Amino acid sequence: MQTLVAYVENKPGVLNRVASLARRLAINIDSLTVGPTENEEIARMTIVAHTDERGAHRLEASLEKLVDVLLAENISTRALLERDLALIKVAADQQNRPHLMELIKVFRARVVDVAPESLIIEVSGTVDKIDGLLEVLRPFGVLEMARTGRIAMTRGGDLLQPPLADGERTALETAGSSAK
Amino acid sequence: MKLTGAEILCEALTRLGVREIFGYPGGAILPVYDALGKSKLRHVLVRHEQGATHMADGYARASGGIGVAMATSGPGATNMVTGIATAMLDSSPVVCITGQVSSKVLGSDAFQEVDITGITMPITKHNVVVTRAEDVARTIREAFVIAKSGRPGPVLVDITKDAQQASTEFAWDACVPKLPPKRLRNNHDQAEFDRAVELLNTAKRPVVLAGHGIMVSGAICAFEQFIRAGNYPVAMTLLGIGCFPAKDPLNLGMMGMHGEAWVNNAIQEADLLIAVGMRFDDRVTGDLRTYAKNARKIHIEIDRAEINKNVKVDVALVGDARAVLENLTPHIETRDHSAWIRHINELKGDSAVRDIQSLPDTGHLYAAHVINDLWKETRGEAIVVTDVGQHQMWEAQYYHHNRPRTLITSGGLGTMGFALPAGIGAKFAKPDSEVWVVVGDGGFQMTMSELATIVQEKLNVKIAIINNGYLGMVRQWQEFFYDKRYVATPLVAPDFVTLANAFGIRSECITTRAEVTPGIRAAREANETVLIDFRVEQEDSVYPMVPAGASLHDMIRRPHNPLVETASDA
């Protein structure tokens, strides 16, 4: 499994291009998330793909060939933080509810909705953690589940920022020199 | 100044230096055609939109510029698909402009509506839909930048009819290309560069693999200086032909499936391969597990996605071939490879004796004879545009090109039907050059309707049909690998002379070797298009050959006497 991060133009059709590319390279995507960045014109993707290092290199280099992709990077071997978020609707009656609450506490999950016959649990963390919670919830009866897919970020000073447009770069440099 | 989107398009194309547009009108592109009529642009009416894209492609390859093709929405656009894919696989800068239904009815299955950007997404470098007249000029300028920059490729711009009709203020300076900022990658990793220099200066048996990228990056001079600096033997890919003079003793010729055996053996024995602007296609490597096992490999390539894709390399220099070569050449210290070059010459063995050119004339007409005589008569100076199949390989073997952009052929996609329209495009790019279309009887029948385009545009293109009554290359595979079961390869053709005459094109049929040279001479002297139907041996095969999937050194060699051994003689 390989994890890639991509900055893309935030406009229609870009997701299609990225997905179409992975399909063309015969690379199976395990999870793909897209969200806006602090710059509204740029979106950030985290792509988790079933492939080896060589496949990830091809995907990374091919992604960067797309006009709408500003940057793509395979971060699989770097120190990184990965998060997945899940909403799990689980069957809960008066009897087993206390037991359920205890498990939820152990996994540092939260109950976000309570109904007479069920609970919705919100949990975030690594894939392993969510899979672990799911495992213990299964005997109670998982009625519904929604997961966001993984987002990832490299740790510490290892920055992965979108490249700047020529204008912005010049503006920054000018600002920098005037500050001196 | 207020202009319509259609007028802006024509104005933008004119300002971008476009002279000819290859296209076919229709409902959704009519506003543009109306504007075309008022512009200085020359429109070449094709007979099928596939022809338009091949013409634009041939134009781009012959000129080094950008070719422009135009079609209406729906079927007009889908007919372009093969030509777009052809340009994509061979990195040819083509801009395709298609009309689209009005933006208000997009997605409603309107008459002649098709999602052409969706269809062409994997076979274009980029494509875009324009729905506002305000975006036309900027988008076209961007399309031209994208098509030509980096590794070139086709770009499709789909313009809705309302965007063509709407009027807007036009100011050229206000619509500069605004492409997303790209990460600047550091392609000049010093350690990698030093390693390349070290390999270059310690290699005993180097071979340079020269590809299309040398032409694309304009590296002809830089490449020659690099070769001279190190006295490196050069093997070429099919699309690399012309990047280094064939007459130069360092030029070994074409490598790969139908390369000469000694060229492939030299690659297999080499201790260093320097690949420049080529992508280790399966047609040049054969079985990857046994490919050049003794060689370290340096890959000079602009497209990072090509590095380690097929062949794992020791050093990758990602960048423009010209810039990389110019940086490398001053560091070359080892120049003497005479022992290695002597050895390569020894590898030739009896190849020259087996060559069909060295065999006596028995009255049989072989395609190789025709191509060789064409080469001699044109002194290797013509632009030759070939189709796909046996004649294409014979051309690569027997027409010796000394200048870049004089062989135009569909390599990566292997598109039959390419030659005639691409030859028309090449003639528009180089009106003062002699253009020969060399095409099989199968491929010719795919796009022969473009003969009418030649007549309507009053062009002077020479057409040599290598007519063997078979889909020859497929027949050859059936002969070698399917026990001569010739399923669907015997091919009925019209009488091409009568056909040409029906179009008003001068034509001749040649059946013997003695007629070849006089026929070519007469065609060259004629100041008009001439079509020659060369009736060649029916069951001749292209040798040598690396069977698909076999090792590069595992070649089927030329028979000692092909004149006797061909089926029709037996």
The pLDDT value given to residue A89? 97
Taking residues B438-449, what's their average pLDDT? 98
* Range name among A53-57, B227-231, B270-274, B349-353 with the lowest pLDDT average: B349-353
Minimum CA–CA partner of A63 in chain B = B305
The ranges assigned to domains in chain B are 2-174, 190-347, 356-565
DSSP per-residue string spanning B507-565 = EEEE-SHHHHHHHHHHHHHSSS-EEEEEE--TT---SSB--TTS-TT--BPPPS-HHHH
Rg (C-alpha) for chain B, rounded Å, is: 24
Task: Report whether pLDDT(B396) > 90.
Answer: yes
Tell the CATH topology of B2-174: Rossmann fold (3.40.50)
Alpha carbons B305 and B316: distance in angstroms, whole number: 11
Q: Which tokens is B2 given?
A: 């207020």
The pLDDT value given to residue A166? 64
Alpha carbons B249 and B337: distance in angstroms, whole number: 13
Looking at domain A81-151, what is its CATH homologous superfamily? ACT-like. Chain A, domain 2 (3.30.70.1150)
Alpha carbons B471 and B488: distance in angstroms, whole number: 8
Alpha carbons B10 and B40: distance in angstroms, whole number: 9
Q: How many CA atoms lie within 13 A of B73 on its CB side?
A: 23
Minimum CA–CA partner of B128 in chain A = A13
Give whole-number Cα distances, A132 to A103, A160, B350, in Å: 11, 30, 71
Looking at domain B190-347, what is its CATH homologous superfamily? TPP-binding domain (3.40.50.1220)
The residue annotated as part of the active site, out of B111, B121, B480, B484, is B111
**Phi, psi (deg, nearest 5) at residue B254:** -80, 145
- Write the CATH number of the domain with boundaries A2-77: 3.30.70.260
Alpha carbons B66 and B57: distance in angstroms, whole number: 8
How far A65 CA sits from the closest chain B CA (Å)? Answer: 8
* Bridge partners, residue A140, by sequence: none
Provide residues of A within 8 Å CB-CB of chain B. 9, 13, 16-17, 20-21, 24, 54, 57-58, 61-62, 64-71, 162-166, 168-169
* Range name among A47-61, B169-183, B419-433 with the lowest pLDDT average: B169-183
In this predicted model, what pLDDT tens digit does every residue of B500-520 receive, in sequence order? 999 999 999 999 999 999 999
Any CB–CB contact under 8 A between B179 and chain A? yes
**Residue in the structure block whose two tokens are 């099989």:** B440
Alpha carbons B8 and B140: distance in angstroms, whole number: 10
The ranges assigned to domains in chain A are 2-77, 81-151
Q: Are B284 and B255 in contact (CB under 8 A)?
A: yes
In this predicted model, what pLDDT tens digit does every residue of B102-157 receive, in sequence order? 999 999 999 999 999 999 999 999 999 999 999 999 999 999 999 999 999 999 99
Is B121 in Cβ contact with A67 (below 8 Å)? no
pTM: 0.94
* Range name among B195-199, B242-246, B360-364 with the lowest pLDDT average: B360-364
Q: What is the mean pLDDT of chain A?
A: 91
Alpha carbons B460 and B479: distance in angstroms, whole number: 38
- The continuous run of DSSP H or E covering A142 comes out as strand A142-147
Cβ pairs bridging A and B (under 8 Å): 52
The ipTM assigned to this model is 0.89
Is residue B198 flagged as an active site residue? no
The pLDDT value given to residue A74? 96
Task: Report whether pLDDT(A167) > 90.
Answer: no
**Residue in the structure block whose two tokens are 């975006």:** B135
Tell the CATH topology of B356-565: Rossmann fold (3.40.50)
SS3 A27: coil
> Of A54, A62, A165, which has the smallest distance from its Cβ to B181's Cβ?
A165
Q: Are A140 and A90 in contact (CB under 8 A)?
A: yes
The residue annotated as part of the active site, out of B125, B161, B427, B462, is B161
